Structure 1
Amino acid sequence: MFEARDVIEVIGLLRDGGCRVWVGGGWGIDALVGEVTRPHRDLDLMHDATQEPTLIEILENTGFAERHDIVPGRPARFVMRHPDGRELDLHPLTFQPDGSAVQPANDRGDVFPYPANAFATGTILGTSIACLSVRQQVHFHQGYEPTDRDRHDMAQLRRIYGIATHF
């Protein structure tokens, strides 16, 4: 499981190493809400693809190793696991001059778009964290059958931001 202090530690290491990262997934929701609302099995991080070699080196130096058994995997994402069981789900972003970004979706050249306003700031344990925006989180939670965790996460955004979500 990924604990809040682990999130702060990993992000701090990457920041100190010069890597830009944004928290997504459940921890991204909790950052937007400003409190830990549920247990988390992993940490989703979007990262600047140009910094990926440095990011991997930093993570490997702290014990993380890439898993090659994850589907779907590259180019859309890759997973690194620590011997203690913590997992990072890493999503490479290619930034455009206007501040927007794209993430590869598959080998055919399809992409997941991130408009410039997809990036926001939240807090975990009182620490400022770069994360995905409320709008981007809601967008990424569409088009599939939601899990109980997804339903919980969208309920948190409705509770705090008073927005409508599709589930």
Structure 2
Amino acid sequence: METSAVLRVLGLLREAGCEVWVGGGWGIDALVGEVTREHDDLDLLHRVEQEPLLITTLENAGFAEQPGVEPGRPARFVMKDDEGHELDLHPLRFRPDGSAVQHADDRGGVFHYPADAFATGVIAGVPVNCLSVAQQIAFHQGYEPRDRDRHDMARLRAAFGTTTW
């Protein structure tokens, strides 16, 4: 997914009043302030109460929900447009203290986001909400890393001097 498509989606959602945070590879690129690799999709976290508005906004922009995604709802869902731009969407339920919870599966598992998991980064000079360095590192634990995971963690080490991973 190219930078212009990412900024278009983020702009549409911002104009509609949807608060989102960039995660995954684009989130890491936002933290380091430059595009460091190609991305197949855009991971976005959003407020669960804004989901109807988010979906309507994306549908009006030509995106449609994709069936058969595992894990699917309530953990996440995927929308794609005719040009092949894919959005991996993660609903968050925020708590009064600024922390959030995301369903991990349909069996009651959850991911916890501390209040400091939310940060600001930059994509092509545009400030964007994204996941923090610590949260990105936390999400890259507990599985066999792929080449892109090793690349992403190396970018965080180079930019922020992180020693984990």
Q: CA deviation at 1:110?
A: 1.5
Cα separation, 2, equivalents of 1:34 and 1:6 = 17
Post-superposition, which runs of at least 4 consecutive aligned residues in structure 1 deviate over 2 A?
none
Structure 2: unaligned runs, 5 residues or longer: none
Equivalences, count: 165
Q: Which residue of 1 aligns with 2:69?
A: 70
State the alpha-carbon separation in 1 of the partners of residues 141 and 73 from structure 2: 22
CA distance in 2, matches of 1:54, 1:20: 10
SS at match of 1:5: helix
Task: Using the TM superposition, name which of 106-115 and 15-24 deviates more.
Answer: 106-115
Residue matched to 2:97: 98
CA distance in 1, matches of 2:74, 2:163: 32
TM-score by length of 1: 0.97
Report matched runs for 1:18-167 at 5 Å.
Answer: 18-166=17-165
Q: CA–CA distance in 2 between the matches of 1:69 and 1:84?
A: 20
What is the rounded CA distance, in whole Å, between the counterparts of 1:143 and 1:84 in structure 2?
Answer: 34
Partner Cα separation in structure 1 for residue 142 and residue 101 of structure 2: 18
* Aligned-residue offset at 1:63: 0.6
Shift in Å, 1:165: 2.4
The CA RMSD over aligned residues, in Å, is 0.6
Residue-by-residue CA offset, 1:54-95 (whole Å, 9 max, x unaligned) = 000000001100001211111110000111111000000000
SS in 2 for 1:59: helix
The one-letter code matched in structure 2 to 1:128 is P
